[in-house]
Amino acid sequence: MRTVFALVDGNNFYVSCERVFNPSLIGRPLVILSNNDGCVIARSEEAKQLGIKMGAPAFKNEAFFRQHGVAVLSSNYALYGDMSARVMAAMRPVVSAMEVYSIDEAFLALDAAHGEDFAREIRARVRQWTGIPVSVGIAPTKTLAKLANRLAKKTPERQGVLDFTRVTDSDALLSMVPCSDIWGIGNRLSTRLSPMGIHTARDLKYAEMANVRKALGVIGERLARELGGVSCLTLEEIPSDKKGIASAKSFGHPVETLQELEEALATYTARVGEKLRAARLLAGHLSVFVETNRFSATQPQYHAGAQTTFLKPTNQTSVLIAAALDLLRSIYRVGYQYKKTGLFVTAMSPEGTVQLSLFEDRVDKLAGRPLAAIVDQLNRKLGANTIRYASMGTRDTWAMRQNRRSRKFTTRWSELPVAKA
């Protein structure tokens, strides 16, 4: 059996998630806003046709949105993350191998003889199970599969599937794709290719590999060879080891008091602890930072960070919060309006690989693990932060703005959709 790659990608994924639970949005221009309802991060096809750009500031376009009947929603990451998991769960049982590449993308291994037919079955299965429309690009390499997916979306007559192995004039398609649209190259690296007369994917396919390596390095050469049908990138079924986990958000309004900063940082730290335990990882190093609004011309500016190394790597929320708050107190200064705080844990190691100290009480080391597991389970079932550590507070006065967020339809009991007769 000859195996090919397929790249499955959710169409306008955030928009599609919202439309599953609110069909009145279908056919209407819709945009999704970033944290604090700042700028546009996702657009429906109808919004794209109106000329709305990615990154467009929401406050500058309110009149335009009203004039053209554009629906505007805050980002709902709990919904998008859960719908992503459901899409992946729909595909996993029917493929031999799968690499989850991002929240809305996955590479699959398919039998080349039945690639296109199977891809259409995958599309139908995901749509039936989740309501999410997807496109599928099939090719002998991951780079070509990514490119085929892009072309499948842009040509409606292909009905969401493009099998590059069955295309009679693949060079004609490659000549339609600028280098800036090639996976792994983008606008910045494409400027290195233009002086060499390399402007399209077809140009890069036939370029001298020595010149490509000189301009883009080994990774660039691999991408070029993949455009020629030589598979250089394998399917990564096992996620690569995490180098670190971060959590940081801008506040919904300026924060001045240490108490509010502590509550925000404790909340972010609890989330990091949850992620560490879910990945069965321990963190050996913790960094914390605070910063004011660097874009304000009228407010005094201040930014600072601090870090610590644990004697023993940990994933226990109580230990992480205590360390994070100690660091925060060491860098907090009165008289500033803070815009953001956050943390980053590094020096990761798998659970069970850290050697115990002869002077360490194993009972103390394991204390808190059963409690943390129960808290994680309850929060997964009842909703994030339903069970809190006291240092997290209860008011969330610092929380980012999400004034237009849809309900957490799939992850919070109190926000489940209700069918009415």
Q: Which domains does the chain have, with CATH numbers?
A: 3-10+84-227 (3.30.70.270), 13-79 (3.40.1170.60), 245-392 (3.30.1490.100)
286-324 pLDDT, tens digit each: 999 999 988 888 889 999 999 998 888 999 988 999 999
Residue 407: pLDDT band with limits 50, 70, 90: confident
User: Comparing 327 with 365, which gets the higher pLDDT?
Assistant: 327
Q: What is the mean pLDDT of the chain?
A: 86
- In the block, which residue shows the tokens 């296109």? 116
User: Comparing 85 with 407, which gets the higher pLDDT?
Assistant: 85
Say what angle helices 317-331 and 258-278 make with each other, to 10 degrees. 150
Ramachandran angles phi, psi of 249, nearest 5°: -145, 150
247-276 pLDDT, tens digit each: 888 888 889 999 999 999 999 999 999 999
- Look at residue 327 and tell me whether its pLDDT is greater than 80: yes
**Collapsed DSSP state (helix, strand, coil) of residue 261:** helix
190-248 pLDDT, tens digit each: 999 999 999 999 999 999 999 999 999 998 899 999 999 999 988 886 555 667 888 88
Dihedral sign of CA atoms 216, 219, 224, 227 in order:
negative
What is the separation of C-alpha 295 from the centre of its chain, rounded to a whole number of angstroms?
25
Left if phi > 0, otherwise alpha if psi is -120 to 50, otherwise beta: which for 210?
alpha
- Sheet with 245-255, edge to edge strand ranges: 245-255, 338-350, 281-292, 303-314
User: Comparing 305 with 413, which gets the higher pLDDT?
Assistant: 305
CA nearest neighbour of 78 among 21, 7, 38: 21
Instruction: Give me the percent of the chain exceeding a pLDDT of 90.
Output: 54
